[in-house]
Chains A and B, each alone.
Chain A
Amino acid sequence: MEKILSLKNVSKTFPVGKSLLGQPTKFVHAVNNVSFDVYEGETFSIVGESGCGKSTTGRLINRLLTPDSGEIWFQGKEISKISQDEMRPLRKDMQMIFQDPAGSLNPRMRVSELIEEPLLIHTNMTPQERMKIVNELLGIVGLSDKHAQRYPHEFSGGQKQRIGIARALTVRPSLIIADEPISALDVSIQAQVLNLLHNLQEKYNLTYVFISHDLSVVEMISDRIAVMYLGFVVETAPKDMLYKNPLHPYTEALLSAVPIPDPNYKKERIILEGDIPSTINLPKGCPFAARCSKCRPECLEQRPEQKEVEPGHFVSCHLY
């Protein structure tokens, strides 16, 4: 399979606080030395808890944010430092679906306008051609052309997310970055949207970067998964390897914390002590050391390197 996207040692910090002279005094280290590859046609998921940098990573890929250092390769082109003008045509191939469907649709635009906007930017189609595509897309995402003239507030959350998906599909992208696309939706609607995403992937050979905190959803949809903690990728592996044989103690704890909807299922739960540390002052050693039950002296002193423990299974931990 072809590599479509590749991140190499990407880091991003955000300044916080200001000194008298307006200089930032502290930095939030949101993404630290993140590297991974995404192959064509696969679903690559980034999982982690709030504040782990998964959304920032998604925004860096789409260049909604500019990384401080590192390289981002998309379709054989290095995009981490190019200007927004150079980036714009590339976004035709790289679209995004956001978490909050209500907040990501302009409330003053009709559905047809929302969906055709990417076509106005990226193509020279006539209005008739555009409307044809809009109606076609509405059908594909499970709405109908009678919805085209309505405004976003007339739709339910699940329907709004379908509009968001239709908008992302208008320019036939090869890569879709979906940032928690179903977490704002009700349980019965989540399944509908997940199934839609799955069908679209088969139909259009889409590549997904799927950002989520829900490990049961990620297991269903992904081919490969990266687990993030405190801005670091701690483990990357194909789905089956990760769920059957989690290597990093954090992945293990995360998996064991997921409540299973089956009262007969009894499992050993690893309860992590304490909270996620602040990303302003990163720990010197392993980012997870403070909460890890297997922590050893070197974990506090030295940051672990990423190692390939079995083919395709990368982990950053001193235990391996």
Chain B
Amino acid sequence: MSQEVLLKVKDLRTEFFSSKKSSVTAVHNISFDIYKGEILGLVGESGCGKSVTSLSIMQLLKDTPGKVTNGEIVFDGVDLLKASDAEIRDIRGGKMSMIFQEPMSSLNPSMRIDKQMIEGIRLHTKMSKEEARNHAAEMLKKVGIPDPQRVLKNYPHQLSGGMSQRVMIAMAMSCDPKLLIADEPTTALDVTIQAQILDLMKKIQKEEGSSILLITHDLGVVAEMCSRVIVMYAGKIVEEAPVEVLFNNPTHPYTQGLIASVPKLGSGVKVLPSIPGSVPDLASMPQGCRFAPRCKYATEKCRTQEPDLVVVGENQRCRCWLKQEG
């Protein structure tokens, strides 16, 4: 893996405004890098800010109450937060593209597949309609669709969930993106179809050398796909580590709890260790460490002062007082 940075996120803060003055902070000053050619996993439970992070990177918060209020996102030398709309449009869907959780609702239901795909391709390349159509068919073939010509003529409702997700991937990959953001790409799919799609994403990443930011809540998917992992909790990064390190030697109590609470095929346990309580509400975050109310190691300090994200090992960062004192 080369260590050349493709995307640099620095102090990103995204807030959602319910009125001019009141807002909740969904993503709280997070920083991370994505290197060229790697699959970076972004894990966390619902409401931890992982999807908002991806939408912030893609600049897709325009028509929502959400707004990036701080930080920079540098992609391939361009600061996306300062770029003009035209520049963003050029990058989005071109050098950087995205696949979503719900393949069915991310495709336009009233447009045939060929039209949707050609539109994207022609926006970013100088291909003629004919060439774009051929390219679209080629892409569909690449993602394992047996009869591309027929699928091109179909409407989205005529395709199954697995098929539509393949179309989404083909569409996202059609302009050779350098970065693919996949937000829970297999969560809506069945296990056997999930296996097909994950296999396909790995193959494409290897062949095209693109980087993938894989957002998921499924630790099994992370272990299988990613080289590095970022764990988020309540809008903040709590741990970042290479995948083997994260699973063999998790340092943050939340990561430890999360890994322990997932049943593992073949482990033979009857009762799982579980994390007590539930994720705090974004509008009323606990003082101090955000995980402290659920943490069995929490001390007085944890409840009053917030720890920083510090380096705790090779390529490993962790936000916990316990790891900063000894």
Instruction: Report which A residues bind B (CB closer than 8 A).
Output: 49-50, 156, 158-159, 186-192, 194-195, 198, 213, 215-217, 219-220, 243, 253-265, 269, 271-272, 275-276
Contact B259 A261 (CB under 8 A): yes
Contact B272 A191 (CB under 8 A): yes
Given known A187-B258, A259-B198, contact A192–B220 (CB-CB < 8 A): no
For residue B162, CB closer than 8 A to chain A, the reply is yes
Bitwise, B190-201 to A at CB < 8 A (1) or not (0) is 111111101100
Contact A269 B258 (CB under 8 A): no
- B114 CB to closest chain A CB (Å) equals 21
For residue B278, CB closer than 8 A to chain A, the reply is yes
Question: What is the number of contacts between chain A and chain B, taking CB atoms within 8 Å?
Answer: 124
Residue of A195, A258, A260, A263 with most partner-chain B CB within 10 A? A263
- Nearest 7 CB-CB pairs, A to B? A259-B220, A191-B274, A191-B261, A49-B190, A257-B195, A261-B219, A186-B45
For residue B222, CB closer than 8 A to chain A, the reply is yes
* Interface size class of chain B, counting residues whose CB lies under 8 Å from the partner chain: 35 or more
B265: nearest chain-A partner, CB-CB: A216
Cβ contacts under 8 Å, B248 to chain A: 264
Pick the contact of A213: B190, B218, B265 (CB < 8 A).
B190
- B324 CB to closest chain A CB (Å) equals 24
Pick the contact of A260: B264, B272, B274 (CB < 8 A).
B264
Bound form: Cα–Cα A195–B261 in Å: 10
Contact A259 B218 (CB under 8 A): yes
- A266 CB to closest chain B CB (Å) equals 10
Bound form: Cα–Cα A252–B194 in Å: 15
Bitwise, B236-280 to A at CB < 8 A (1) or not (0) is 000000011001100000000111011111100111111110110
Contact A263 B264 (CB under 8 A): no
Given known A257-B195, A263-B223, contact A188–B270 (CB-CB < 8 A): no
Bound form: Cα–Cα A243–B275 in Å: 28
Contact A260 B265 (CB under 8 A): yes
For residue B46, CB closer than 8 A to chain A, the reply is yes
Contact B265 A187 (CB under 8 A): no
For residue B87, CB closer than 8 A to chain A, the reply is no
Contact A191 B45 (CB under 8 A): no
Bound form: Cα–Cα A261–B256 in Å: 13
Cβ contacts under 8 Å, A261 to chain B: 219-220, 222-223, 247, 259, 262, 264
- A257 CB to closest chain B CB (Å) equals 4
Bound form: Cα–Cα A257–B244 in Å: 21
Cβ contacts under 8 Å, B222 to chain A: 261
Bound form: Cα–Cα A36–B198 in Å: 34
Contact B272 A195 (CB under 8 A): yes
Cβ contacts under 8 Å, B167 to chain A: none
For residue B295, CB closer than 8 A to chain A, the reply is no
- B227 CB to closest chain A CB (Å) equals 9
Given known A192-B274, A258-B265, A261-B259, contact A186–B46 (CB-CB < 8 A): yes
Cβ contacts under 8 Å, B194 to chain A: 257, 259
Bound form: Cα–Cα A265–B162 in Å: 26
Bound form: Cα–Cα A188–B47 in Å: 13
Cβ contacts under 8 Å, A156 to chain B: 278-279
Bound form: Cα–Cα A144–B103 in Å: 41
For residue B160, CB closer than 8 A to chain A, the reply is yes
Contact B269 A220 (CB under 8 A): yes
Contact B279 A186 (CB under 8 A): yes
Please list 9 pairs of residues, one from A and one from B, whose beta carbons are closer than 8 Å in the complex, sorted by A's number: A156-B279, A215-B191, A216-B263, A220-B263, A259-B194, A259-B198, A260-B224, A262-B264, A264-B248
- B218 CB to closest chain A CB (Å) equals 7
Cβ contacts under 8 Å, B266 to chain A: 219, 243
B146: nearest chain-A partner, CB-CB: A274
Pick the contact of B275: A191, A254, A255, A276 (CB < 8 A).
A191
Cβ contacts under 8 Å, A272 to chain B: 192, 195-196
Q: In the complex, given contacts A186-B46, A275-B193, what are 4 additional A-B residue pairs having Cβ atoms less than 8 angstroms apart?
A: A49-B192, A215-B191, A216-B264, A219-B266
B227: nearest chain-A partner, CB-CB: A263
Bound form: Cα–Cα A262–B46 in Å: 22
Residue of A188, A215, A276 with most partner-chain B CB within 10 A? A188
